Amino acid sequence: MLIRADSGGGTHEFLAWLAKPGRRLAYSAGFTITADIQDAILAVPARAWTPAYDADGLARPGAWVAELTGMLDLPAWPERMRVIVREERPHPGAQLRFTDIDGQRFTCFATSTRSGQLADASASCPAKITRQPTCPDASAARAIRRGRAAAGRSPGAVRLDNRAT
């Protein structure tokens, strides 16, 4: 079962409770962007950003994801927790936030999901953040890969969408 939460669920206590041994729960929760996380975002190499995909498995224009886990000091958080950042242009009319950088909106989430490629993880981000359905199992990941193949792209291909390398 996949438990989803907005950033209110991205706490030590809640995620530790979900990750207790013996529980068969996966989670995806919004994660607050701290100064350390902002520094990590700014240090992500351009080649590490991959396209974010919509619910149909198609690259979402102007949206990218990258994994920050190895760039952060996370010893107090659940073991095997991953931190994913999403970058996208705010929708027309959206008010900018102080965490927006160069007109781009950044959101983070913590997840225990392991399967699929990084871009598949963006679909398991909390609905409040991405407004996308979850992809908690292998059949959903296969559907995403089929959608990519139907769009004329290799299911395993990674495009950088005009990003500098």
User: 154-161 long-range CB contacts below 8 Å, 24 or more apart?
Assistant: 156/117, 158/50, 158/51, 158/117, 159/50, 159/51, 159/59, 160/46, 160/47, 160/49, 160/50, 160/51, 161/51, 161/59, 161/61, 161/64
Question: pLDDT digit string (tens) for 95-140?
Answer: 888 777 778 889 999 999 885 445 444 444 433 333 333 333 334 3
Domains of the chain, residue spans: 2-150
Token pair 């929760």 in the structure block, residue:
29
In the chain, the amino acid numbered 6 is: D
- How much is the pLDDT for 102? 78
- Flag whether pLDDT at 148 surpasses 80: no
Give the separation between CA 111 and CA 114, rounded to whole angstroms: 8
